[in-house]
Amino acid sequence: MPLSKRLDLFGEEIFASLNEKKKSLEKEGRSVYNMSIGTPDFAPPKHIVDALTESAKDPASWKYSLQDLPELKQAVVDYYRRRYGVSLSPDEVMSCYGTQEGVGHVCMALCDEGDTVLLPDPCYPVFRAGVQLSGAACAWYPLKKENGFLPDPDAIPEETARKAKAIFVSLPANPVGSVAAPDTYEKLIAWARKYDVIIIHDNAYSDIIYDGNHGGSFLAHEGAKEVGAEFFSLSKSFNVTGARISFLVGRRDIVDASKLLRSQIDFGMFIPIQKAAVAALTGPLDSVKAQCRLYEERRNALCGGARRIGWDIPDAKGSMFVWAPIPAHYQSSMAFCMDLLERAGVLCTPGASFGPHGEGYVRFALVLPPEKIAQALAAIENSGILKEA
């Protein structure tokens, strides 16, 4: 029986062959340096775990929560003021089961068939899936090396700008590791106003930013709340990826539309997880800062180490990812990934899986400590993979 045509939108799992290869290498007893997936290897802070376990002991916590607890919405409001200097009201906050889920659904609340949504190319894949599920059309704007892998709204063709209903922006960026320049958001906001386009900003990595820079919120910029909203995930800052905690905050009608959609299909976040989120947002942030320094050490180990063995990988400026150009003698990022795994035991992600402009690059996730990264680089150097003509 043919099932929904919607499923035809989603192609084959491109990682299947890499995973098969990884398994077979491990079976042979070879060590694999897995830097493909952005799951942090750090632990969540104890006060967050304690808040969850304490709440889980109370039978009342196991009922349908039906809504975001007032203390949770207030914690987000206070955090935004304290951490980002942004003033929000509790009505401008909605929880979601991670940004992945939130982004997956938000276009259903904003768009119809016939609408167009602009996406960065390359980008985090769920941006595209969410647009497709809503029935809207995707249009891409390239993140180019010569432009520091940043959005350039002035380069978006006039016709596309006029058609666009929304644009996704995400900085620090996965997979390219760029961070906003001082005028990035000002330019985007002016452009969005001119063409009446909603900006959806995905702020997953404001706490992982290097070289003395300070990560902030899109909403801290003048006029941002009139044109858009932001997804704010706790996953990477607090190492709670499995708990699925994120928020959509910002322009009221965007948040309200998302709440209405959600109320039809969901009964609210598990209360112990809401309590854990409150603990994260109201608790100390020293571990978040310390962790950023550890990511920076890893960034230095990978980018600096690669340059020392003749692989010119520029420093990532933020996010937990490094965007590496493939050696010139390779035709495709997938072919290079396969060879890198086979010959050096190093697993990373083909850039082409993030969009057409991702071809020619691979993405490394900084999920190994510096000493393991050094071993992975030694394996790469010894394999000779960088040198062939």
Q: How far is the CB of 138 from ligand PLP (least distance, A)?
A: 17
Specify the residue, 227 or 277, whose C-beta has the smaller distance to ligand PLP: 277
Specify the residue, 233 or 274, whose C-beta has the smaller distance to ligand PLP: 233
**Subset of residues 246 to 275 that bind ligand PLP, contact rule: CB under 6 A:** 246
Tokens 């520029």 belong to: 314
Distance CA 241, CA 379 (A): 30
**Subset of residues 275 to 334 that bind ligand PLP, contact rule: CB under 6 A:** none
**Subset of residues 154 to 173 that bind ligand PLP, contact rule: CB under 6 A:** 170
Half-sphere exposure of residue 263: CA atoms within 13 angstroms, side-chain side: 10
Residue closest to ligand PLP when measured from CB atoms: 98
Q: Please select the residue that binds ligand PLP; options are 36, 174, 178, 239, rule is CB under 6 A.
A: 174
Specify the residue, 77 or 243, whose C-beta has the smaller distance to ligand PLP: 243
Q: How far is the CB of 331 from ligand PLP (least distance, A)?
A: 27
**Subset of residues 178 to 237 that bind ligand PLP, contact rule: CB under 6 A:** 202, 204, 233, 235
Q: Please select the residue that binds ligand PLP; options are 84, 124, 191, 354, rule is CB under 6 A.
A: 124
Specify the residue, 55 or 99, whose C-beta has the smaller distance to ligand PLP: 99
Q: What does the block give as tokens for 386?
A: 């960088």
Specify the residue, 174 or 291, whose C-beta has the smaller distance to ligand PLP: 174
Polymer length in residues for the chain: 389
Specify the residue, 244 or 251, whose C-beta has the smaller distance to ligand PLP: 244
**Subset of residues 84 to 113 that bind ligand PLP, contact rule: CB under 6 A:** 98-100
Q: How far is the CB of 247 from ligand PLP (least distance, A)?
A: 9
Element (H, E) at 139: strand 137-142
Quick one: 347 exposed, middle or buried, by C-beta within 10 A (0-12, 13-18, 19+)?
buried
Of 368, 365, 366, nearest in space to 354 by CA: 365
Specify the residue, 291 or 385, whose C-beta has the smaller distance to ligand PLP: 291
Sign of torsion, CA 65 43 207 235? Answer: negative
Helix (H, G, I), strand (E, B) or coil at 236: helix
Q: How far is the CB of 241 from ligand PLP (least distance, A)?
A: 5
Tokens 């320049």 belong to: 181
Distance CA 131, CA 118 (A): 9
Q: Which residues contact 99 (CB under 8 A, 6 or more apart)?
A: 126, 202, 204, 231, 232, 233, 235, 246
By CB under 6 A, how many residues form the interface with ligand PLP? Answer: 13
Distance CA 297, CA 268 (A): 38
CA 66 distance to own-chain centroid: 27
Note the residues at the interface with ligand PLP (CB under 6 A): 38, 98-100, 124, 170, 174, 202, 204, 233, 235, 241, 246
